[in-house]
Structure 1
Amino acid sequence: MPSGESVLEEPDLALIHALQLVPRASWTQLSAVLGAGPDTLARRWEHLTAGGYAWNGFLIRHQGRVAPLYAWVEVDCAAGRSEETALALADDPCTLGVHEVTGDSDLVLLVLCPDLEALDAYLSLRVQRLPGVTRSRTQVVTGVHSARNLWQLDQLTPRQSRQLLGTTVPAQGGQGGQGGQGAPRRRPQRLSGLDEDLVLELAGDARRSAAELARICGASESTVRRRLDALMGGDLLIHHCVPAPRFSGRPVWALIRADVPSLAVVSTAAAMARLRQTRLVTSVTGGHNLAVGAWLRSVGELNDITTAMERAAPALRITGTALSLRTHKSGAQVLGPDGRRLHHVRPDLHAPLWQDRRV
């Protein structure tokens, strides 16, 4: 995979960094910090998103006290059927990662389901019935120790960051509507039906206006603004504002499997999460008890990170690695052969898990 000279310029990266900090800030607020006019920033963001070079969206972390179920699924395909199988699975609402990989399997999926029963239905009624699939193996995630935004940029100065995070933005129509990031975080006990509808609409574009969301969801603008303020102030959402991986400086995805003594899992996972390359650190069922997803600058960096993992946790034993030959899906975003975003798929877990819900 080519590392790809980035098409992103310094102003692009600064804008992405600003939206990582305040995803629904108005263009006027951003203009005061970034030193470009609101119209210029709006045009720049439109270029990035329309071209598939970056995106800004939300996913549901969990529903009230009940966390959804994650699983790593390895898929073997008949000769010549890997790509078509990956394309089909990328359009499923419950896949948050679809990679063609090196190693013992052809595909690795990260799957999100409401519970074990739904996972079984997805595997038996969808994955295992695809014509190109010959076998699948599943590891249920028993703990998520780190799920961070790997591409947290550092383009803004500390002063600019403080200025953004300390500014309160009134909830109003247009491309704005998030309350001040410095306010105390409030955690809703449970997502309402309207909340879930709002998050589904924000999965592909976190900056959709309150007026547009109200029209789509059949609610008043004032109600939508109130619910958005509550959602933004809680910790039920996962925010992704990132450049497309191929243009991020870390274009190579890797899955690293490891085994550690049970008593050392928590401390080892914490050490893994501190490594710059790691994005998702999970405890899993099966022959090894840790699975780590990472984004690397190059294929050669795989050796660097496995060495760093073993140094950070001497009790750890690497049991297997896989590199992505092509990433078809990252989060809710479906990526094309050139690494750019094609479209997003609504991660609606209440719909049939194999229903095509691309947007």
Structure 2
Amino acid sequence: MQDSANMDETDLALVHALQLRPRVSWALLGSVLEVDPTTLARRWDRLSRRGLAWFSCYPSSTKDWTWHDWEAGAYVEVECFPGHRQAVTERLVRKSSVWNIDATSGRRDLMLTMIASSIVAIDTEVSESIAPIPGVRATRTHFFRSIFRDGSSWRLNALSPEQQRRLTSEPTAERATRPSGQDLEVLRILGPNARLSASTVAERLGCSVSTAGRRITRVMESAFAAVRCEVAHSIAGWQVAATLWLDVPQQDLRTVAADIARLPEIRLCVTVGSEANLVAQIWLHRLEDLDRFEMLLATKFSGTRVLDRWITPSFAKRLGHVIDVDGCRTGFVPLFGERDQEIGP
């Protein structure tokens, strides 16, 4: 990976802009970044083809609606017999219910993020489909209680405040909160690429381009769709991913969780049913930054204790996207589907 393993300041600004406005026109983006629109389109094509940046689009729960297939979530620790982690990972990558796979430090080898219709469904999947995989020695499941932040709100912070203002569209008067069957089909199509053209979506839906455009706009401006523009984190400068397992006094839990979720380093903040009651996943530039971050927690949130900390040297899967050792995307396993999937480009 020679020139493919590079991202300059313009690339980072481009990704940040697409995090804010996934389907922004190249013309508008060019005026904001002061770069020729054709150059930006060419840069995005290079980033996406080489797996340095990519999109995810998926249903997100609202106060009015939760998709019945994704009503429960959990972290699942997987401990492998020595020498079996890679083989186990290759089996797990193909499972649609396994959204994320992190290789971790400490007593476990892998941490999975799993989503299913219920805690019973997750428990059944773990006991019947994951624990029996050859090479798995033990599993431990930690069910989600409340999610305060996920990766869809994480930003690169490569743009100036004025550039961000110009790209941030005014919210519509009413955002749809409950998807129709057609909306879910659009989400399925946009799953691995939120910038698919209206003509491509129209062809897959069997409708006119104008109708497809309206359906895309409805989904992208809704409250039930989550969109991420992801990046190969280590190549973009985030060398360390860590997970902190925290014990917070119960009377302070929701306040502390909400405050921690607002910190810019946070990728995911969720309360769990475990010995720890709050889990925070963070991305940092250097390992020593973890000391500073933990000191911030100790100073700002009195009574909060770090029960455990994991370092993630690499990811094998992130929100259905298959990731290589350099952090680049190499394939995609649909989140809508049967248990085991073929890995697509």
**Distance in structure 1 (CA, Å) of the matches to 2:147 and 2:42:** 37
Are the counterparts in 2 of residues 151 and 243 from structure 1 also a CA contact under 8 Å? no
TM-score, normalising length: structure 1: 0.87
Which deviates further from its counterpart, 283-292 or 65-74?
65-74
| Aligned counterpart, 1:246 | 234
Query: Is 1:72 the counterpart of 2:75 in the alignment?
Result: yes
Query: Is 1:299 the counterpart of 2:287 in the alignment?
Result: yes
Specify every segment of 5 or more residues in structure 2 that has no aligned partner in the other structure, as ranges. Answer: none
CA RMSD for the aligned pairs? 2.1
Equivalent residue letter for 1:299: L
Which deviates further from its counterpart, 49-58 or 300-309?
300-309
| Aligned counterpart, 1:164 | 167
CA displacement at 1:150 relative to structure 2: 6.5
* Structure-to-structure mapping, 1:146-295, within 5 angstroms: 146-149=149-152, 151-165=154-168, 181-184=169-172, 186-295=174-283
SS at match of 1:28: helix
**Distance in structure 2 (CA, Å) of the matches to 1:315 and 1:185:** 42
| Aligned counterpart, 1:315 | 303
Query: Is 1:354 the counterpart of 2:340 in the alignment?
Result: yes
Equivalent residue letter for 1:217: L
**Distance in structure 2 (CA, Å) of the matches to 1:242 and 1:66:** 24
**Distance in structure 1 (CA, Å) of the matches to 2:151 and 2:184:** 22
CA displacement at 1:148 relative to structure 2: 4.3
CA displacement at 1:96 relative to structure 2: 2.4
TM-score, normalising length: structure 2: 0.91
| Aligned counterpart, 1:172 | none
| Aligned counterpart, 1:168 | none
Are the counterparts in 2 of residues 85 and 130 from structure 1 also a CA contact under 8 Å? yes
Which deviates further from its counterpart, 336-345 or 42-51?
336-345
| Aligned counterpart, 2:37 | 38
Equivalent residue letter for 1:126: S
Specify every segment of 5 or more residues in structure 1 that has no aligned partner in the other structure, as ranges. Answer: 1-5, 166-180
CA displacement at 1:43 relative to structure 2: 0.9
Q: How many pairs were matched up?
A: 338
**Distance in structure 1 (CA, Å) of the matches to 2:121 and 2:173:** 32
Equivalent residue letter for 1:65: W
Are the counterparts in 1 of residues 242 and 310 from structure 2 also a CA contact under 8 Å? yes
**Distance in structure 1 (CA, Å) of the matches to 2:157 and 2:288:** 24
| Aligned counterpart, 1:139 | 142
CA displacement at 1:80 relative to structure 2: 0.6
CA displacement at 1:322 relative to structure 2: 0.9
Are the counterparts in 2 of residues 122 and 354 from structure 1 also a CA contact under 8 Å? no
Equivalent residue letter for 1:345: V
Query: Is 1:84 the counterpart of 2:83 in the alignment?
Result: no
1:355 to 1:345, Cα distance in 2 relative to 1, 3 A: closer
CA displacement at 1:353 relative to structure 2: 2.8
Are the counterparts in 2 of residues 254 and 324 from structure 1 also a CA contact under 8 Å? yes
User: What's the % identity of the aligned pairs?
Assistant: 30
CA displacement at 1:44 relative to structure 2: 0.7
